[in-house]
Amino acid sequence: MAPAMTASDTTSDALRTGDPQVAELITAEERRQAQTLKLIASENYVSAAVLEASGTVLTNKYSEGYTGRRYYEGQQVIDQIETLAIDRAKAVFGVEHANVQPYSGSPANLAVYLATVDPGDTVMGMSLPMGGHLTHGWSVSATGKWFRAVHYDVRKDTGRIDFDQVRETALAERPKLIFCGGTAIPRTIDFPAFAEIAKEVGAILVADIAHIAGLVAGGAHPSPVGHADIITTTTHKTLRGPRGAMILTGEEYAKPIDKAVFPGLQGGPHNHTTAGIAVALGEAARPEFRDYAQQVVTNAAVLADELKGRGFDLVSGGTDNHLILMDLTSKGVGGKPVAKHLDNAGLEANYNTVPFDPRKPFDPSGLRLGTAALTSRGMAEGEMREVARWLDEVVTAAAGDADALESTISRVRGEVSELTGRFPTPGLDG
């Protein structure tokens, strides 16, 4: 057995002295992240450089406005940092304009609405239960309350987007804005098909690539550039940056988008986050990032094949990207209890609705998995096969008696700990 690797304590003497309680909690979280397998599709590990840039004196500075046009003095350094992040975003994604100020993905999407449509206008996005996002016009979101939202689904027989329905709905409803992308889409997004429909009805096409931005940057997923009028993305997930967002456009929408972000929706940007975004984009421009992106997709495909071989039902039958959506109905268990059991076994995942799910959203039939974080730790095909075995063992035990489940969880937890001990945790280990 290989010697276990343990995450170093990154808390400083200042924090340990100034607030030992918070320092202890952060150290506990570092230990937890190092000793578990992160299978949540929206999570990843950032590098030590991104962590360091995100936790600096830049948090002390207010910078309302844009480079060269601020409302506070003392922006000589901040302007250079934001310009660097913008230039790197434009280069990595091949766009004419980038706004790196949105606080997160949802505000970025809200800025698109503010820049392009008026309250009450018709907008269209993927239905949330089918894999879409709240901010694509779902009823409980402000976007579903302020706009007249219509939605498209996936086909029941294939689990893939029903483009006949997309076109028919667009022609019938004439939306001013069409969103493509979402939170639980395991297949390649056909940006050209969406662009053709949007052009036919005179709609603005927005590609929300929050989940796949790192794959796009690394060439492992087709780019929406040249097809979508506006692109929104978070900067974490597969892109491996801090918790922020970007809006990418051509010159046509540059000014409306910038005005919508500031002063339309928010005040000063979080400069420490902007620095972290700049570092992450610098990393994404390196050749090794392309290797990482391709391995993410390879790992997901192997994990999906292994799960199918063990009798799991996968939405759409598999995956083209980093994400796998499992329907546990045939296993006789719900997604929520299984996610809890897996967490106890050291396997982090999240319960999720599946298309046409008969169960309620807070107790759905599905489980969502992702391979980006495991890939960031250096894991490859062999480890994916081990993960599939553990998933199968815990799910099978969950459908049986409590004693067998407890024993399985305990054994799997030990095996997971042995595996994680062989792979460094980015940002924490050397």
Summarize the annotated binding site for (6S)-5,6,7,8-tetrahydrofolate as residue ranges. Answer: 128, 132-134, 251
Structure-token match 């039939």, residue found: 365
Numbered residues of the known binding site: 128, 132-134, 251
CA distance 44 to 7: 16
Task: Kindly provide the residue ranges of all beta strands, DSSP E only, lying in 91-156, ordered along the sequence.
Answer: 97-99, 122-126, 148-152
Catalytic site includes residue 62: yes
Tokens of 131: 């894999």
Q: Half-sphere exposure of 190 toward its Cβ, with a 13 Å CA cutoff?
A: 10
Distance CA 230, CA 114 (A): 13
Going by C-beta distance under 8 Å and a sequence separation of 6 or more, which residues neighbour residue 32? none
351 is an active site residue: no
For the question of residue 64 being annotated catalytic, the response is: yes
- Three-state DSSP state, 44: coil
Using DSSP, state whether 177 is helix, strand or coil. strand
Catalytic residue (choose from 16, 70, 90, 243):
243
Query: Which H, E and C letters describe 323-367, residue by residue?
Result: EEEEECHHHCCCHHHHHHHHHHCCEECEEECCCCCCCCCCCCCEE
173 given a catalytic annotation: no
Element (H, E) at 145: helix 142-146
Residue appearing with tokens 């603005």: 204
Q: Are 241 and 49 in contact (CB under 8 A)?
A: no
**66 counts as catalytic:** no
Tell me which of 31, 52, 62, 386 is the catalytic residue: 62
Find all residues with CB under 8 Å of 60, minimum gap 6, and list them.
none
DSSP for residue 214: H
**Catalytic residue ranges:** 62, 64, 208, 234, 237, 243
